[in-house]
Amino acid sequence: DSGVTQTPKHLITATGQRVTLRCSPRSGDLSVYWYQQSLDQGLQFLIQYYNGEERAKGNILERFSAQQFPDLHSELNLSSLELGDSALYFCASSPLLDSLTEAFFGQGTRLTVV
Amino acid sequence: AQSVTQLGSHVSVSEGALVLLRCNYSSSVPPYLFWYVQYPNQGLQLLLKYTTGATLVKGINGFEAEFKKSETSFHLTKPSAHMSDAAEYFCAVSGRDKLIFGTGTRLQVFP
């Protein structure tokens, strides 16, 4: 158990809908990272938050947004969903701002868009 | 910019045989390198990491990797494969703000 909790584990929704994925980092970790894992794109970095502030952005679509709350949990919001958004979404946390320390990954949320 | 290339998307070995998973990196600064393992329906688990110091790094489950700067490689090895090693393995390099992952290598172990 990595200590990073993601909910829900599975999500099935229709195209055009909006969903929210939730991540609770390990106790004390201030950095949260979101990754998307799909068959054709592999593991892609989406966005990083540190202590409530956005710190880095990767290949995140404009239809996607995220935030980190004062209690350090994070949510990834995906809207106007398309079939191609079907993927495994991982959250990772680490104690510090940079990723040079190891990142602990949650078990992911599997999103299926039908 | 940093990048990682994993050679071979699938590797098959017999139980008890040597496991060798290849990873080459590109980095304009001294890299921090990682190997993660993903078991079916699981998240990513850190196997080992290289930051500085000794170039031969030992990880969990009997895996080790050697950082070779001259070859820009960080190959993962295990002397004797076990059935439980069947999983997907990801090499990663630390970028400025994130981990950059390779495309993964699926390891199959046959009895």
Q: Are A88 and A110 in contact (CB under 8 A)?
A: yes
Phi-psi region of B74 (alpha: psi -120 to 50; beta: other; left: phi over 0): beta
Q: Are A113 and A14 in contact (CB under 8 A)?
A: yes
- CA–CA min distance B102, chain A (Å): 8
Reading the block at residue B89, the tokens are: 């393995």
Helix (H, G, I), strand (E, B), or coil: what is residue A10? strand
Phi-psi region of A97 (alpha: psi -120 to 50; beta: other; left: phi over 0): alpha
The amino acid at A91 = C
Contact check, Cβ <8 Å, B46/A102 = yes
Contact check, Cβ <8 Å, B51/A90 = no
pLDDT tens digits, chain A, 114 residues: what are they? 789 999 999 999 999 999 999 999 999 899 999 999 988 888 899 999 999 999 989 989 999 999 999 999 999 999 999 999 999 999 999 887 666 667 899 999 999 999
A102 close contact with B: CB closer than 8 A: yes
| pLDDT tier at B90, thresholds 50, 70, 90 | very high
Report chain B residues whose CB lies below 8 A from the CB of A99: 94-95, 97-99
Contact check, Cβ <8 Å, B36/A107 = no
- CA–CA min distance A86, chain B (Å): 15
- The confidence score (pLDDT) of residue A51 equals 93
- The confidence score (pLDDT) of residue A100 equals 63
Pairing of strands B105-110, B10-14: parallel
- CA–CA min distance B107, chain A (Å): 16
Candidates A55, A58, A100; nearest CB to B94 = A100
Report chain A residues whose CB lies below 8 A from the CB of B100: 45
A58 close contact with B: CB closer than 8 A: yes
**Paired strand residues for A104:** A93
- The confidence score (pLDDT) of residue A98 equals 66
Which run of H or of E encompasses B58?
Answer: strand B56-58
CB atoms within 10 A of CB A54: 13
